Chain A
């Protein structure tokens, strides 16, 4: 190699080979191919599992619904052992949605307030400990929440229920006939405590991401701390808070043991949040599954399918809300 390269001796350039599509996609090296295979495989596996669940639920549900004497969506009854069987999800759908709404109404404002306090008001040395305690709330198993709810929360609800009945009883939804407070409101309060940590943590993370320059922009206009939060922090974090709330809502909709322990289930709808009774999908499945016949299980699975669909709809709605605000989100700044 001692001689300098002579240009005239160089062979004519080989004709350029057609661009290999695989090369462009970066899958020619063994490492890349293995990783591509793994990640593509995982993605496909996820879809297959989702499809399998949907097929299983739909198949078993159709077995039950085809024999249902009543209207599956509107019947206020769950008698799968009758001949012919008569059952419907009206009560369960109502109870699931109502208890989750109560939980969201209580939990979201509190969680957002805690997240704002932790990111913008709390002294630095308090932030760690408070965040830690909230994380601990998330680590408590739901059966423990259920026991606490039944043994501590329920006996202490009488005062609140009486007060609500006195002042807001005229609305109908806060009237109380004096039954044990194992009602939708108690369930909602318990669910609110359970979903508080996830909403708080995700919101806190979102509020921490607000760029300094947006907050400074508000400050420089003469905004107070609260006005900075209103102008820069909350608008920037809105879509994140919606996502956080959806995570919480997902847990509230599907919560089983805590609801089953606190609620005294009946198969009718209470107009008031304070009167005991009603039921939720998950609670109903948990209480009936053990003793159900083969057909009874199919009927419960049918109710599970409805919960699945409700959850999908809620998530879709949340995504639509976020997408509609995309132009204004902080992401493109």
Chain B
């Protein structure tokens, strides 16, 4: 199911403000790619262009190409809704639907996509919750509201909800920044398991986290406030953290700025 992402010459705007400029990169299937960089450098914006969520923001528009295997997500006649069914997303703050039970939260995406028999639905929900390492904690209270879980559990519920529809790609926008270290560890372990099945892209402010979970790391930066963010370099994580080819990357990683 996992697909390759191939981005070329991508520029994104908020109204007349250019947020990111001319980004090109390739993300291999069944790998974890981390985006790092200072605040405001456009890494979250870039992430949101990969499932066409950027254009939901008022004034948001995109130029350039994003190929998912061979299909251009911004091609003519492509429905953003169907793109988002293929490219799942997990947000910074856990956002389970507060009005739905745990079960219904996981089933939400499936119910959008078509008719499932009750037993099929129950199977997929169980598999997804197991996939998100949450099953044992919630199996006795599937009918309780998702908002009653702890922050870390809620985030794993959101991951279960995202993987239930079997997306090709899973985008994560700082998924651990609102969580305590134990919950963070649980999510990081989970990412390691999920990459067997999905292409994963994760934005993080935590460089140790990038080093721990990712195969490839992309460093974004901006020349000055108000300037568009740019991709400085993307390379194997090991190399980025030991011997990056650009000085700015080394400065950022070693804490000399940012």
Please, how many angstroms separate the alpha-carbon atoms of A238 and B99 in the complex? 10
Task: Identify which of A211, A238, A328 gathers the most chain B CB atoms within 10 Å of its CB.
Answer: A328
Q: Are B109 and A221 in contact (CB under 8 A)?
A: yes
Interface-forming stretch among A146-154, A228-236, A248-256? A228-236
Binding site for A on B (CB under 8 A): 51, 53, 56, 81-86, 88-89, 91, 93, 95-101, 108-109, 112-113, 144-145, 147-148, 158, 161-162, 165
Q: Are B98 and A222 in contact (CB under 8 A)?
A: no
Of A213, A220, A227, A235, the residue contacting B99 (CB under 8 A) is: A235
Given contacts A227-B112, A235-B97, contact A222 B147 (CB under 8 A): no
Given contacts A213-B93, A217-B158, A227-B112, contact A235 B85 (CB under 8 A): no
Q: Are A220 and B97 in contact (CB under 8 A)?
A: no
* A residues 170-216 in Cβ contact with B at 8 Å: 211, 213-214, 216
Please, how many angstroms separate the alpha-carbon atoms of A327 and B149 in the complex? 12
Please, how many angstroms separate the alpha-carbon atoms of A219 and B112 in the complex? 11
Q: How many A-B residue pairs have CB under 8 A?
A: 81
Given contacts A224-B81, A327-B145, A333-B147, contact A219 B53 (CB under 8 A): yes
Q: Is A223 an interface residue (CB 8 A)?
A: yes
Q: Is A162 an interface residue (CB 8 A)?
A: no
- Of all chain B residues, the one with the shortest Cβ separation from A234 is B99
Q: Which residues of A lie under 8 Å from residue B161 when comparing CB positions?
A: 217, 221
Q: Which residues of A lie under 8 Å from residue B108 when comparing CB positions?
A: 218, 221, 231
The 7 closest A-B pairs by CB, nearest first: A222-B85, A235-B99, A333-B98, A220-B89, A221-B109, A213-B95, A222-B84
Please, how many angstroms separate the alpha-carbon atoms of A219 and B55 in the complex? 11
Q: Are A222 and B99 in contact (CB under 8 A)?
A: no
Q: Closest Cβ of chain B: how far from A208's Cβ, in Å?
A: 15
Q: Closest Cβ of chain A: how far from B107's Cβ, in Å?
A: 11
Q: Are B162 and A221 in contact (CB under 8 A)?
A: yes
- Of all chain B residues, the one with the shortest Cβ separation from A333 is B98
Q: Which residues of A lie under 8 Å from residue B81 when comparing CB positions?
A: 222-224
Q: Is A329 an interface residue (CB 8 A)?
A: yes
Please, how many angstroms separate the alpha-carbon atoms of A313 and B190 in the complex? 52
Given contacts A221-B112, A222-B84, A329-B98, contact A216 B53 (CB under 8 A): yes
* A residues 305-329 in Cβ contact with B at 8 Å: 327-329
- Of all chain A residues, the one with the shortest Cβ separation from B58 is A124
Of B85, B86, B95, B165, the residue contacting A217 (CB under 8 A) is: B95
Task: Identify which of A222, A238, A330 gathers the most chain B CB atoms within 10 Å of its CB.
Answer: A222
Q: Is A66 an interface residue (CB 8 A)?
A: no
- Other contacts beyond A214-B95, A221-B161: 13, CB < 8 A: A213-B91, A214-B97, A214-B98, A216-B91, A217-B91, A217-B97, A220-B51, A221-B88, A222-B81, A222-B82, A223-B84, A227-B112, A235-B99
